[in-house]
Structure 1
Amino acid sequence: MTTPIDHIVLLVHDLAAATATFQAAGFSVSTRKDATQKGGASYRFVCFADGSYLLLTAFTPEGAASHRLGPILAETEGPGDWSLTVPSVDKASAFGAAAGVTLGATHDVANDVEGGHWALRLLLTGIGAGGDDALPFLIEDVEGRTLRIPAAVPHANGATGIAELTVAATDPEGSARRVAALAGLPQPLGARLTVAPGQSLRFVPLDPQGLGTARTGGCTGIRLSGVAAPLTGIEGSALRVTAGVPA
């Protein structure tokens, strides 16, 4: 199953400690056996039945210094970036340009893993694009999505997917309109955008006193579906992952 929200990058200082925290909160944490490891960063996957996932991401000092998300992690752990899947990056780029969205670079990303090969096209439209930092980066799967994303393993806490993202923006309603344009969705009436049944985006004003994306723009909170009880050790932390679906 594929949902429009592909994944959220969760920046952490200590990958082993973050993995243990998520496992203690009832999550299954996976690795992906890429043939070539990207230097400067290491990852763990928390994959859901709806096809979305959380990407726990830790940088080396050198990796943080050269990565567009390094300045965010220097301020705080937690959501650093987020992505949407689109059928065609070229079409999304055309939609965005028509709506006045500042577009960044397109990257071709690929790797071999046990069992085959995965490849995607990635378009920067938010952080690193030089425009609206509240926007996501876009992913077009070219080959091997089921190899790119480890198979979802049931979570002891019942988590089944991503229900809602909270995104800080300079212009919340404008950011909602820009995301809708990129994704080819109907224009929203306000600062909330439904991207699929049971999956939505809520854009809120920046917090000048906040840290990381709360102050600069981007994903600031993640609500999961399927979880009835609080996520011990995570809710209320800098990781900003919470249970339940808002009313």
Structure 2
Amino acid sequence: MMLTLPIDHVVLLVPDLARAGAAFESAGFHVTAKASHSPAMGTANRCVMLDGTYIELMGIETETPANLAWRRLLEKGQGIRGLAFRSEDIQSSGQSLTQAGIGIEPARHFSRETPYGELRFSVVRIDPVATPGLQCLACQHHTPDRLWLADSMRHGNGATGLASVDIPVVTGLDRLAAAFGGGGIAVSSGDGRLVLTGSAPAHYDLRDACGIVIDMVSR
């Protein structure tokens, strides 16, 4: 099955965030510094910023009720365990999902300080029952200029954008495509692979540290 979805970012769930970040850096990617989420969330991330999207490396710092779903997914193995879909209006996205008969949690609003100012965003988590093997969510960025920074988008290996995502399980994603109106990045059933655009073709096997393979194609 091949779908097109408005992907904001891909969540790469890993048991060792430092090791995963180092693997991406060794492959020539710029990886942002570790950022811890709220104590209630108990998670932390590092990001690989691309044109209009990004790869989020996520790890569990402290077990909390809020990250139970992530921990259960991690028990099944590291790799692509979440997809976040871009929202221009988080309340409207929540309504569209509800109208499509897809269960959601109430919208949550987050913020954190960065050297460039306060970063603010809102998310609506989708009931994992709707997408077995994945945690999906809608995400609205209120301060995108403080997240997509020119320096963080310069990668030594020439990577520029996300072209497609291959994941082992795509069950339920067709309903999300309908709810979000389609368009965006190709998502298909596969072995855990990201295809990126870049200045030159390349292949990176990060299965040991991150559970994925990355292929880069000339843009």
Q: TM-score range by the shorter chain?
A: 0.7 to 0.9
Q: Distance in 1 between matches of 2:161 and 2:74?
A: 25
Q: What is the aligned partner in structure 1 of residue 179 from structure 2?
A: 182
Please state how far the C-alpha of 1:132 moved relative to its aligned partner.
3.1
Contact kept, 8 Å, 2:193 with 2:215, in 1: the verdict is no
Contact kept, 8 Å, 2:11 with 2:81, in 1: the verdict is yes
Matches within 5 A, 1:26-175: 26-31=28-33, 37-39=37-39, 40-48=42-50, 50-60=51-61, 62-63=63-64, 66-127=67-128, 130-133=129-132, 136-141=136-141, 143-151=142-150, 152-167=152-167, 168-170=169-171, 175=173
Q: Distance in 1 between matches of 2:28 and 2:83?
A: 23
What percent of counterpart residues are identical?
24
Out of 159, 162, 187, the residue aligned to residue 201 of structure 1 is: 187
Query: 1:60-100 CA distances to partner (integer Å, 9 max, x unpaired)?
Result: 35259943211121231111211011111222222223322
Q: Distance in 1 between matches of 2:103 and 2:66?
A: 24
Specify every segment of 5 or more residues in structure 1 that has no aligned partner in the other structure, as ranges: 186-194, 205-213, 215-219
Aligned length: 207
Highest relative contact order (Cα 8 Å, sep 6+), 1 or 2?
2
Is the aligned partner of 1:6 residue 2:3? no
TM-score of the pair, normalised by structure 1? 0.71
Please state how far the C-alpha of 1:149 moved relative to its aligned partner.
4.5
Please state how far the C-alpha of 1:126 moved relative to its aligned partner.
4.6
Give the root-mean-square deviation of aligned CA atoms. Answer: 2.9
Distance 1:122 1:26, change over 3 A: same
Contact kept, 8 Å, 2:12 with 2:210, in 1: the verdict is no
Q: Distance in 2 between matches of 1:105 and 1:221?
A: 31
**What secondary structure does 2:202 align onto?**
coil
TM-score of the pair, normalised by structure 2? 0.79
Q: What is the aligned partner in structure 2 of residue 24 from structure 1?
A: 26
